[in-house]
Structure 1
Amino acid sequence: EYYENVKYLGLGLLSLGLERGDKVCIIGDNGPQWYWADLASQAVGGVPVGIFTDCIPSEVKYVAENSDSKFAVARDQEQVDKFLSLKGELPNLKRVIYWDSSGLWGYDDPILMNFEEVKDLGRDYEKAHPGIFEQFVAETRASDLAFLAYTSGTTGLPKGALVSQENLLSYARTWFELHPPCDSDDYVSVIAPAWIPEQWYGIAIPLSAGMTVNFAEAPETTQADTREIAPQITAAPPRGWEMTASRIQALIMDAGFFNRLIYNLLLPVGYKVADLHY
């Protein structure tokens, strides 16, 4: 399923005029479609560009304009509206492709297409160009640009960081030195894929190891869904881990005597195990 979606979405982009090196900006919450669009762009010679979901239209414009993106992939009406409001200011933008049609039924702007329409174009393109997808994949080199990530811009205008295929693979190899690859492992995607670490943990490592990438049903259910999935691996920014630790410590303070005793006895053991392992 992963391969089919990536393949036909990528071929659909070729059908729409994507050329090698063209940028494809992607904005939306974590979900399979984000990763399909990311890999589809890479597979046919394009370069995905991550945009954070909370970016306002002026910030979206800056990234799309600075990266000279030819295509945009957006999750839903909220993100699509940002691009439609900027259409006159982004003359190089050819298409805005969306994967959640909620609220978009009445939209008839010709720049818009949904995922299924693009994949249908991809299937037709394959019939006219058999083997073209496999050819593009085979021509990919380690030095090729895999992703363009923009900084948050806290000290000035956001800056684009160039991430090569070798950058991603090198991190995966380093990870496997600590955690040997296991195709039965589960990973829960929590951090934004526009952020470089999620390109490591959500794409490079799972693809190299054959792991399963899981997603929360909604941002507000992340904690409950993670507990249900019980993943071997998850990732978060430092502030996320700090908040989790603070929440656990607050719960322990309100817990009964026996639970506090177990916590205080086993926490030092956990630290020693971590020190031995890492």
Structure 2
Amino acid sequence: MQPTQRNTRAGNPTHTLPGLLARRAKDRPDQVALREKEFGIWQETTWAGFLDRVRSFALGLVELGVEQGDRIAIIGDNRPEWVIAELGAQSIGALPLGLYQDSISAELARMLEAADARLIVAEDQEQVDKVLEVRDRVPGLEYIVYYDPRGMYGYKAPGLMSFEAVEALGDRFGDRFPHEFDRRLVAIEPGDIALLCTTSGTTSVPKLAMLSHANLLAMAEQMVSVDPMEPGDEFVSFLPLAWIGEQMVGVASALLAGFTVNFPEETGTVRADIREIGPAFMMSPPRIWENMVSDVQVMAEDTTPLKRWMYRWAMREGVRAAEARFEG
């Protein structure tokens, strides 16, 4: 496909999410941006490597015919490929839409129809099966891209392809048009839509909310001002990336502050992976904290009297210190 002509008015590219990624890759190319645990071993991606993969995926989308304003759905567990797909779509002006990985087929079909999605990035066989089940209801859905190939051997469907295949398309496109990615990147404005998020659906069926780059980065700036983060700090991304809270921290704040985002190996290993990483910052719903406190209290009650006393003393001092800190 030939590169399309877009409005290339120069905004401030560092005030967009992919623009911040490009700046991080330039300023700290060898610093670890992402870390994913596979088979018990942490696999690292630097800021330069992160940008390279985003560029490859973005240009792969261009080669497939994805245009500015097209909707790109993403569903699956938290993995580097999720944020690569999201930032790749944003880099060419497409609109990523995150979907919860536990969505049933009917919910998935409703959101894909509402967004008129042209392509979906689905993690694995389970998610691909759900998409194939409802594909007839989404006539505009041309491509299904998976990033976990386990169980996918023998699957045949129009537009079904691997994440690596899209990246390979992008690499070849980039060889032919070496300046296309940068040209598109600088054309993105802070006020452009960066993300489509689903509403909670507590009062009616979920709807799509449009969030701009400026909106997401304003939230990130407030977050970082309250709890300062910096390059070298660690964060564990385990809450759904379809949720705006995780987007605010695991994507926008990470790009703004430059800290490392870690992805657990499995849902069941989250607690162990958090202990191993020792993140500088965590954000979780109350239930997560309640479970952690309950586990600690049970262990404290099962130990010796001296250790119970030390635990209770430490808790009192910790609460007093926290209250003093909040009061300034």
TM-score per shorter chain, which class?
over 0.9
Choose the corresponding residue for 2:233, options 185, 194, 209: 185
The CA distance in 2 between the partners of 1:246 and 1:146, in whole Å, is 39
Partner residue, 2:15: none
Choose the corresponding residue for 1:117, options 148, 165, 171: 165
Runs of at least 5 residues in structure 2 that lack an aligned partner in the other structure: 1-48
1:198 paired to 2:246: yes
CA contact (8 A) 1:61 1:86 kept: yes
Alignment of 1:145-160 (within 5 A): 145-160=193-208
2:232 alignment partner, SS class = coil
Change (3 A) 1:250 1:161: farther
Partner residue, 1:22: 70
Deviation at 1:264, TM superposition (A): 1.0
- Give the alignment's Cα RMSD to 1 decimal: 1.3
The CA distance in 1 between the partners of 2:321 and 2:210, in whole Å, is 36
1:44 paired to 2:92: yes
Deviation at 1:154, TM superposition (A): 3.3
CA contact (8 A) 1:191 1:237 kept: no
Deviation at 1:211, TM superposition (A): 0.8
The CA distance in 1 between the partners of 2:65 and 2:88, in whole Å, is 14
Partner residue, 2:20: none
Change (3 A) 1:23 1:276: farther
CA contact (8 A) 1:44 1:137 kept: yes
CA contact (8 A) 1:189 1:235 kept: no
Deviation at 1:238, TM superposition (A): 2.3
Change (3 A) 1:253 1:194: same
Deviation at 1:259, TM superposition (A): 2.1
Alignment of 1:101-180 (within 5 A): 101-180=149-228
The CA distance in 2 between the partners of 1:189 and 1:56, in whole Å, is 23
The CA distance in 2 between the partners of 1:75 and 1:35, in whole Å, is 12
The CA distance in 2 between the partners of 1:104 and 1:120, in whole Å, is 19
TM-score by length of 2: 0.82
Deviation at 1:31, TM superposition (A): 1.0
The CA distance in 2 between the partners of 1:276 and 1:71, in whole Å, is 51
Deviation at 1:250, TM superposition (A): 2.5
1:65 paired to 2:103: no
The CA distance in 1 between the partners of 2:324 and 2:77, in whole Å, is 36
1:266 paired to 2:320: no
Runs of at least 5 residues in structure 1 that lack an aligned partner in the other structure: none
Change (3 A) 1:130 1:173: same
The CA distance in 1 between the partners of 2:256 and 2:278, in whole Å, is 21
Runs of at least 4 residues off by over 3 Å: none
Which amino acid in the other structure matches residue 242 of structure 1?
Answer: E
Partner residue, 1:84: 132
Deviation at 1:179, TM superposition (A): 3.0
Partner residue, 2:268: 220
The CA distance in 2 between the partners of 1:41 and 1:238, in whole Å, is 33
Deviation at 1:86, TM superposition (A): 1.3
Change (3 A) 1:23 1:210: same
Percent identity between matched residues is 39
Partner residue, 2:44: none
2:84 alignment partner, SS class = helix
